[in-house]
Amino acid sequence: MPLVPYDPFNMTRRASDWFPSFPRLFDEDWFDSHFTNMPRVRCDVRETQNEVIVTAEIPGLEKKEDVNITVHDNHLHLSGKIERMGEQKDENVHRMERYYGQFSRTVPLPTAVNDTGAKASYKNGILEVRIPKSQKQMGRQIDVDFH
């Protein structure tokens, strides 16, 4: 009989597999969207042979001082503030769905990176961060001589 480590949340994970509408209570995305006021910055992380590319949706940034980007311990940290543009005092507001205020997101990176060569660009509400991989992780291709 194999030994199985104790996992107190195993039943909730299995319940969400059986019933897709069952919330994943211990999933970071679910928790952030239900219990914090900060919006979830949506990110895509992809990897090429030489770099890791993180693309994030952050509409509403006006200048580079509005966003702070750091790389530490193979994690990318995004934070900043979105300012609300010109509000009118004499208008009746019927709905306010657009987010403004502070945001923060930490994204784990899939491999070791060299933070000194990182570059970021922002266009049309999309922030793209390109971080070169660490030379230790890239390895080297070895050619084979056939005789």
Give the model confidence (pLDDT) of 32-87 as tens digits. 555 555 667 899 999 999 999 999 999 988 888 999 999 988 899 999 998 876 66
Number of Cα atoms under 13 Å in the Cβ half of residue 129: 25
Distance (Å, rounded) from C-alpha 127 to C-alpha 78? 10
Residue identified by tokens 């949506």 is 42
Q: Quick one: pLDDT at residue 35?
A: 53
Query: Domains, the chain, ranges and CATH?
Result: 9-37 (no CATH), 39-85+100-138 (2.60.40.790)
